[in-house]
Structure 1
Amino acid sequence: MLRRTITRLAASAGALSMMAAIGACAGGAAPAGGGVAAGDTGEPLDGGTIVYGHQQEPECVFGGWIEQGYLSYQVLDNLVSLNEDHEPVPWLAQAWEVSDDGLTWTFTLMDGVTFTDGTDLTAEAVAYNFDHWIDGGNSTARAWLQPYFDAAEAVDERTLRIHLSAPYPRLSANLAQPYFGIQSAHALQTRSDEENCAAPIGSGAFVVEEWNRGQNILLVRNEEYTSWPANARHGGPAIVERVDWQFVPDPTTRTASLRSGETDAVYDVPAIEWEPLGDAGFERLKFVTPGRPQQISFTTTQGPFADQGVRQAFAYSLDREQIVETIGQGLIPYEGNGAVSQATPGYSQEAADAYSYDPARANTLLDEAGWSERDDAGYRARDGQRLHVVIPYGAGSIVNADGAAILQGVQQQAKAVGFDVELVPVPRAASLAGAYSTAEERDASVGYWTSVNAGILWINWRPSTEERPNGSNSAFYNDPELAQLILEANSEANRERQHALYREAQQYIADRALSIGLYPRLSTLAVAPDLRDVWQEHSQGGPVFHDAYFVG
């Protein structure tokens, strides 16, 4: 293995007590299966390098994409962390309170925290981060904060006040997402965009040492780390010395590297490998991401799916559960809800169950919509025009190999009732360049958006206007009634009432067949038996290496 020299921890009462605390603290995700046998007493080792195989390389370490969030979580600390119950716990913010009108949040910051450039964590520095996000420094953070954020104010060195234009009761939970990692204000002001892209300066457990583009990023332990979250498994700097974060796009190669000992942990485990890796003794971690699942959004402004009956016919033509269970092999769960996933607070099972497999109903709806002819290939047609629909998807980025196989199952089942589905795999570079982003280019689209609560509905369904375009409204559906319902839910302080409003919005989306679910976005890890206490943080499911250690 590509590890640095590691030393045995002294078998003193203090060392043994520390390692017991590592294993006992709450906050880590429990393994889904496999892993280390009960009673294993391998001696803990100090130092070493975790060689980790990840599937995608982002453009920057910090940014608005989940792949960036996984990386930046190792380097940047947040104001809060999220526990297993979706509740925020202290991190850089040791305490917080909300005014009676819900418009002012006051955060008390941890004392004595220093960024790795030597500058201090202050309320002024954190306020600068908020302004930086709103000004475009992180589009995902901005999408979450708008239209609620008004101003960030440093009351004194340790007191930060966030002023809102409307109540936003779940603000603290949203701030647990890695898109809200706090950077050194001095670094943001004095370094180039390229420098902050490649090696953002935070107060986290690791520091970016080197980025070999196309190969790996080397993270080195922050020896002065003092600001671990309340749900960390140990206090103090990271136990390992380095993390070699390698980019290995091919899933077969990633799995093979784990089996051969070239890597200590890998991400995005193929469904076909899930059970065999467990049987071979590897620990497996699985996180069902809250937020919008992998789903199909229909273009509602033009084309065949502008007709609600045709959208419903497409939904009824699919046995989505059978497709997902066949491809998923017990790893990938089915998700019928096109608005939010089953892991999301405020989830509506009724919306998830809206469209069961009913090809007879699908055929009737297509007849009623005028698609009653059949061409020589057996596809539906109207006025001599085939019922052809174009569905692009982010191949290898938004949709992995298992997801692509699920889409092929969709294509085959929809064909049986007469849909000619053209699946278009779109490389990430083309997606970033804007390919298939307009209503004229596609009839439906596939994608997800991770979240910590059903507030994601506002991002995905906010009406898109010329003044404020919303590229995340993938159905191109501008509905003031739906928008108002979501805004009301976002500002509702009573949790039960808020969830009821979110469920009403999900049902609204399901009734109109604006989006149909396929499966929730998963974060999966497989970890070698001699690497312990890797866990998944509870907002996005990314790996946490601060607490990890080797045994020998």
Structure 2
Amino acid sequence: MLHKRVARARRIALTGLAGALAVSMTACASERGQDPAGEGQTGGTLVFGAAGDPKNFDPIFNDDGETFRVVRQIYDTLITYKPGTAELEPGLAEKWEASNEGRTWTFTLRQGVKFHDGTPFDAEAVCFNFDRWHNMKGAAAQSQMIYYGDIFEGFASNEGDISGDPLYASCEAKDEHTAVLNLTRPKGAFPDAFGLTSLSMSSPTALQKYNADEVTQSGDSFSYPAYANEHPTGTGAFKFESFDRAAGTITLVRNDEYWGQKAKLDKLIFRVIKDENARKQELISGTIDGYDYPNPADYQTLRDAGAQVLVRPINNILYLGINQANNPKLQDVRVRKALDHAINKELLAQNKMPEGAKARDQFVPEEMNGYTNAVEKHEYDPDKARQLLAEAGAENLTLNFYVPTEVTRPYMPNPPEIAGAVSDDLKAVGINVQMVQRPWNGGYKDDVQKLGKHDIHLLGWTGDYGDPGNFIGTFFGREKAEFGFDNPEIFNALNAADAKVTDQAAKTAAYERAAVLISQYVPAVPLTSSPPAIAVKANVHGLVPSPLTDERFNTVSKG
């Protein structure tokens, strides 16, 4: 089927919200004059408070929201999302077509687009990027497993702990403006996944000039080349100018040659302010223009100070991860169900999460196809939890509880506070909890996702696109160190659902079946979903909150 502005029957119920959430627009004078749409002044600089340092600026090597916020301004993807929704719309590809039962994707590309270094964006550039990702080896491949690895399931030469049958077969530049991507089998994540920030298009010229693939590894740490740190080159509305690590400032400048709606701002600066309270005080004092994920307890304080609190639609999940490989007691499903029964999720949502947060009994958000009331539910019941622990011979259970610090996530506004509430519930049923706090970008993700050091841990997910596989497929589609289990029935059910590309009813039913199996097995405990917010000054206009946290700043002005 040929796609232009796609209205998908299976998309999550998050559309139609842009108008309700967009900031009111007012025109004001400026030294550069009115913007063409009369939506506030053009020109000037906007300073946005970031919660942490970016990892680097090469999209393929990243999985972190703070990095993606910057990267999205520099790069574009073949397909993108309509502002304020998870609905697909054209990006660098004006249209796309699936054939051969979903094994072949043909992209008709925009004409006249150039990368920031002047390199033409064309079909050869598209294929260069896909070939680059597929042919990565060693540390470069190890470093990009989160998104590319999950979607494409392997590389041309799997090395180290990388395994899997690669989905990618080839890419052909049929002509200058037509790129044909060939897959080895259908993949239900497409076309949505073509909008993933990790799959943004980079300049082939810059990639080669600045040795983009020369990633080195020392222990669990990776070092990235000049392209990723100093010369990121996309087609986006802003161009990279500098990253002052000492000052913690990333500076982007307007791309006057942008193919789409040109940025209203001259400069966009992201300033790293790791303390959430400090970000709040700087916004109130006027030294920054906005920041993400304000503490829910501060919403009214910010409004009283004249700031705007823009609330996103819900599209995330917070969960208590369980590592069966690290603790034999956790291999007993009765123990895992006891953990679920022990936690008062309603109270957690009410007391520790943003206004509008919901308790969850499964990993597919209620707003998305694939959610089902048929899952096995484990309501809050401390007595039942104690009973199950006794039956399993785990009355004296001790668990190492890994908790991230120096981070604020959409699903997890204050990790230590949330962990404290969960820990209190577990202790109340007789579990001895030993909390281990690790910095988010200082070892936490490696400890839980790669090394499996934990017994239990806090983590979550914000949906990247409107497909249930982006949730339960990402979590439980294959064996992972994070969860430490091997369940072929669940893996096969998720693989079967992911292979259904054209029959959406069958795909939804297959994901519902997988959700039921997951609820019975309890590889982790779903906790809550939250509607995270962005706070900006009163004179900031045009920022449209996205359920995918996919905000673009080219529409933003100050006035």
- The equivalent position to 1:59 in structure 2, one of 35, 55, 61, is 55
- The equivalent position to 1:203 in structure 2, one of 235, 243, 246, is 235
**What are the within-5 Å matches in structure 2 for residues 324-335 of structure 1?**
324-328=349-353, 330=355, 333-335=357-359
What one-letter code is carried by the residue in structure 2 that aligns with 1:258? L
Deviation at 1:127, TM superposition (A): 1.1
Q: Does the residue aligned with 2:383 lie in a helix, a strand or coil?
A: helix
Give yes or no for the alignment of 1:394 onto 2:404: yes
Q: Which residue of 2 aligns with 1:11?
A: none
Deviation at 1:100, TM superposition (A): 4.4
Structure-2 separation of matches of 1:398 and 1:278 = 20
Structure-2 separation of matches of 1:118 and 1:299 = 48
Change beyond 3 A, Cα 1:41–1:51: same
Q: Which residue of 1 aligns with 2:318?
A: 294
Q: Does the residue aligned with 2:358 lie in a helix, a strand or coil?
A: coil
Deviation at 1:255, TM superposition (A): 0.7
Structure-1 separation of matches of 2:131 and 2:407 = 30
Q: Which residue of 2 aligns with 1:247?
A: 272
Choose 1 or 2 for highest CA Rg.
1
Q: Does the residue aligned with 1:486 lie in a helix, a strand or coil?
A: helix
Change beyond 3 A, Cα 1:288–1:355: farther
Give yes or no for the alignment of 1:284 onto 2:317: no
Structure-2 separation of matches of 1:154 and 1:328 = 48
Change beyond 3 A, Cα 1:173–1:463: closer
Post-superposition CA distance 1:257-298 (Å, at most 9, x none): 11111111111211111233234432222335646x221121
- The equivalent position to 1:443 in structure 2, one of 450, 455, 476, is 455
Change beyond 3 A, Cα 1:177–1:432: same
Post-superposition CA distance 1:191-225 (Å, at most 9, x none): 13322212310110001111101411000000111
Task: Tell me which stretches of 4 or more aligned residues in structure 1 moved more than 6 Å.
Answer: none
**What are the within-5 Å matches in structure 2 for residues 357-376 of structure 1?**
357-371=380-394
Give yes or no for the alignment of 1:68 onto 2:74: no
Structure-1 separation of matches of 2:373 and 2:54 = 34
Deviation at 1:41, TM superposition (A): 5.8
Q: Root-mean-square deviation (CA), in Å?
A: 2.5
What one-letter code is carried by the residue in structure 2 that aligns with 1:54? A
Q: Which residue of 2 aligns with 1:152?
A: 171
**What are the within-5 Å matches in structure 2 for residues 199-278 of structure 1?**
199-214=231-246, 215-226=248-259, 228=260, 235=261, 237-278=262-303
**What are the within-5 Å matches in structure 2 for residues 12-161 of structure 1?**
29=18, 42=28, 44-62=40-58, 63-65=61-63, 66-83=65-82, 86-134=86-134, 135=136, 136=141, 138-139=144-145, 140-146=147-153, 147-161=166-180
Change beyond 3 A, Cα 1:398–1:271: closer
Change beyond 3 A, Cα 1:432–1:195: farther
Deviation at 1:370, TM superposition (A): 2.0
**What are the within-5 Å matches in structure 2 for residues 487-502 of structure 1?**
487-492=495-500, 493-502=502-511
* Count of residues in Structure 1 that have an aligned counterpart in Structure 2: 491
Q: Does the residue aligned with 1:535 lie in a helix, a strand or coil?
A: coil
Deviation at 1:427, TM superposition (A): 1.7
Give yes or no for the alignment of 1:163 onto 2:182: yes
Change beyond 3 A, Cα 1:264–1:312: same
Deviation at 1:521, TM superposition (A): 6.3
Percent of residue pairs bearing the same amino acid type: 24
Q: What is the TM-score of this pair, normalised by structure 2? A: 0.82
Give yes or no for the alignment of 1:485 onto 2:505: no
Structure-1 separation of matches of 2:353 and 2:125 = 45
Query: Mind listing any 5+ residue stretches in structure 1 that lack a counterpart?
Result: 1-25, 229-234, 372-379, 382-386, 465-469
Contact 1:439 1:476 in 2 (8 A): no
Structure-1 separation of matches of 2:20 and 2:292 = 14
Deviation at 1:102, TM superposition (A): 1.6
- The equivalent position to 1:454 in structure 2, one of 465, 468, 477, is 468
